[in-house]
């Protein structure tokens, strides 16, 4: 079994370090961006609300190009109930402010009610608005609950142009689970398309990360795992990774989780 130290080093480069609280301030986002460039290397991205994209861009300016941290933001978030026009306007504004990646909430309530078309229309419109920028589609798997619904959402998102399938917003009672991640990874494998997977919500320890990495390696192969294909959306995971790697300034790992 891969050691926790090795897992922590691999996971660090896959993290979308996330701050999505309604009372966030510019100072909070600046602090997040400072954390993103760790002594063991940078995370993959920071993920912030659209109003803070420009703040993140300023905070990350001047970083070594070899250690670039991408900027992700969310649209149709968190409820997934905006119309396509509103979503497209939000995407265009976020990209103009400096976003590199867009995390879009899928209209999962419509799918759960038996209607596939709103999801197809919304993801297709978002794909066009994103152009060459990365589009991650948040399926809210914990609210879809049934494996068949999760598979259908995954298939719709892939066929409509998603670059990544993402489990969750982190704003519902059930977020990322190994079972949901397995379904998304199998859908990606079976599609034959170059699509990534982002597990998000409730992942706080290196040991949890190891479970998801093992799952991805079994389904997609270990060489597939890289920031261009696999991400962890997390706010608390970084502290545990740093502690596992031996950063004396980081909080100690939560032993109860082990």
Catalytically annotated residues: 103, 166, 198
How many angstroms separate the CA atoms of 199 and 11, rounded? 12
Sequence-distant (6+) residues with CB within 8 A of 169 are 74, 77, 78, 105, 138, 140, 175, 200, 201
Looking only at the bridges linking them, the beta strands covering 70-75 and 45-48 are parallel
How many angstroms separate the CA atoms of 109 and 5, rounded? 40
Alpha helices in the chain (DSSP H): 4-12, 26-36, 53-60, 84-97, 108-112, 117-130, 141-144, 147-159, 178-191, 206-220, 237-245
Sequence-distant (6+) residues with CB within 8 A of 203 are 176, 209, 212, 232, 233, 234, 237
- Contact (CB, 8 A) for 49 and 24: yes
Work out the number of other CB atoms within 10 angstroms of the CB of residue 71.
25
């Amino acid at each position: 079994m891969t050691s926790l130290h090795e897992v922590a080093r691999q996971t660090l480069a896959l993290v979308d370090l996330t701050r999505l609280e309604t009372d966030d301030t510019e100072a909070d986002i600046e602090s997040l961006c400072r954390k993103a460039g760790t002594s063991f290397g940078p995370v993959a991205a920071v993920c912030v609300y659209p109003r803070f994209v420009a703040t993140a861009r300023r905070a990350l300016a001047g970083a070594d190009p070899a250690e670039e941290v991408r900027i992700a933001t969310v649209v149709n978030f968190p409820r997934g109930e905006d119309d396509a026009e509103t979503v497209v306007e939000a995407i265009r504004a976020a990209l103009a402010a400096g976003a590199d990646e867009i995390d879009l909430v899928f209209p999962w309530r419509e799918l759960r009610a038996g209607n596939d078309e709103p999801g197809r229309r919304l993801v297709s419109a978002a794909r066009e608005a994103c152009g060459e920028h990365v589009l991650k589609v948040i399926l809210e798997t914990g609210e879809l609950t049934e494996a068949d619904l999760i598979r259908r959402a995954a298939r719709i998102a892939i066929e409509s142009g998603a670059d990544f399938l993402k489990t969750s917003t982190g704003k519902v009672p059930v977020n990322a689970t190994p079972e949901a991640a397995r379904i998304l990874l199998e859908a990606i494998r079976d599609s034959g398309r170059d699509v990534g997977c982002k597990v998000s919500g409730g992942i706080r320890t290196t040991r949890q990360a190891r479970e998801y990495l093992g799952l991805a390696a079994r389904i997609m192969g270990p060489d597939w795992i890289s920031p261009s294909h696999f991400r962890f959306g997390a706010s608390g995971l970084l502290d545990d990774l740093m502690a596992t790697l031996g950063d004396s300034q980081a909080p100690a790992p939560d032993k109860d989780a082990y």
